[in-house]
A = this chain, B = another copy of it.
Amino acid sequence: MRYDFGSDNTAGMAPAALQAVVDANDGYARAYGADDVTARAADQIRRRLDADAEIRFVFSGTAANAIALSMLAQPHEAVLAHHAAHVCTDETGAPGFFGHGLGLIGLPGFSGKIEPTALHAALDEPVVGHRQPAAALSLTQATEYGSIYSEDELRHLIEPAKLRGHGVHMDGARLANAAAAGFEVKAIAGLGVDILVVGGTKAGMPPTEAVVICDRTLARRFDSRLKQAGQLPSKGRFLAAPFVGMLEDGDLVRHAAHANAMARRLAGLSPFRITHPVEANGVFVEMDDERLAALQAAGWFVYRFLDGSVRFMCSWATTAETVDEFGEALRRVA
């Protein structure tokens, strides 16, 4: 079975990430993130985001998102998110586990983007004792369906939430893909995002994610919080190094741009109807069970997503040749 298009986490490490890990292996280093590599990586990210943020590197995007939400909402409160957001559908209830029962309120919207009127309606819900009232907003950039919020779209979602005192979280598991598509990441902090998770894994790194705390008042005793949650690496340099390696020469965005381009190329070859805008590195198509089975029988592991589309993901490692080969396979089963 071939996993090329199954997900963007089936590829390995990009060369610069791997090289940085090898380089970071030299000698002794202070534990728990007090090392030089971690400091360098954090500086790089602050510079790229133009944000004076507190930054930590953790193992897991699931944990990073869940911890962030638990910092923005109490157990008796809830977080507003797109109903197809990763935190709602693919993290096995991690927000409730790390947030001690914290609730999620799923909002509708096309192609993974929250519909502003739905958000306003949710924000206007009266607080009643027997429901978990909203206390935070979670946004995903790029979305689960490969669409990308414009700066204005984000502003129109964030502003009304902030007006009610809600915190804002951004799941940036594929932020590099959004950046490569033209989204200006330097705007994030200014838009009012309190905690941002910048994905490393799907961008071509080994397991590592950067938690970026834009609102530093939230960061108090953050190392204790991460340690308790099993997310404070003793050998922190190995989680920071891939960011150093992929940021210093711009490989992070370059690879993401390549993944996006591969998705567009694949979309162009698809004989199946495309169901969502191809703005990042994913392609979603309408395909019946018989054709999906035929595609899998031909050796390609891909699967049906939440909305019924079949999803193809591209990554830094996807080659044009493989896309063409896969396009051919699609045509054969169409």
Of A224-232, A257-265, A290-298, the stretch lying at the interface with chain B is A224-232
Contact count band on A: 35 or more
- On whether the beta carbons of A230 and B227 are closer than 8 Å, the reply is no
Given the complex of chains A and B, what is the CA–CA distance between A1 and B66 in angstroms?
Answer: 36
Question: A206 near B: Cβ within 8 Å?
Answer: yes
Query: In this complex, what residue of B is CB-closest to A33?
Result: B129
Please name all residues of chain B whose beta carbon is closer than 8 Å to the beta carbon of A223 when the two chains form the complex: 129
- On whether the beta carbons of B94 and A103 are closer than 8 Å, the reply is no
Given the complex of chains A and B, what is the CA–CA distance between A10 and B59 in angstroms?
Answer: 18
Please name all residues of chain B whose beta carbon is closer than 8 Å to the beta carbon of A75 when the two chains form the complex: 93, 96-97, 100, 225, 228
Question: A92 near B: Cβ within 8 Å?
Answer: yes
Please name all residues of chain B whose beta carbon is closer than 8 Å to the beta carbon of A92 when the two chains form the complex: 76, 129-132, 224, 227-228
Question: A244 near B: Cβ within 8 Å?
Answer: no
User: Which 5 interchain pairs have the tightest Cβ spacing?
Assistant: A63-B230, A97-B101, A96-B101, A129-B223, A59-B59
Q: Supply 22 A–B pairs (Cβ within 8 Å), ascending by A.
A: A1-B30, A10-B31, A12-B25, A12-B29, A28-B317, A59-B59, A59-B230, A60-B231, A75-B96, A76-B221, A76-B224, A76-B229, A91-B228, A92-B130, A98-B101, A98-B230, A99-B101, A101-B101, A129-B223, A133-B221, A201-B234, A207-B238
Residues of chain A whose beta carbon lies under 8 Å from any beta carbon of chain B = 1-4, 6-7, 9-13, 18, 21-22, 24-32, 59-60, 62-64, 66-67, 74-78, 89-103, 127-133, 135, 201, 206-207, 221, 223-235, 237-239, 301, 317
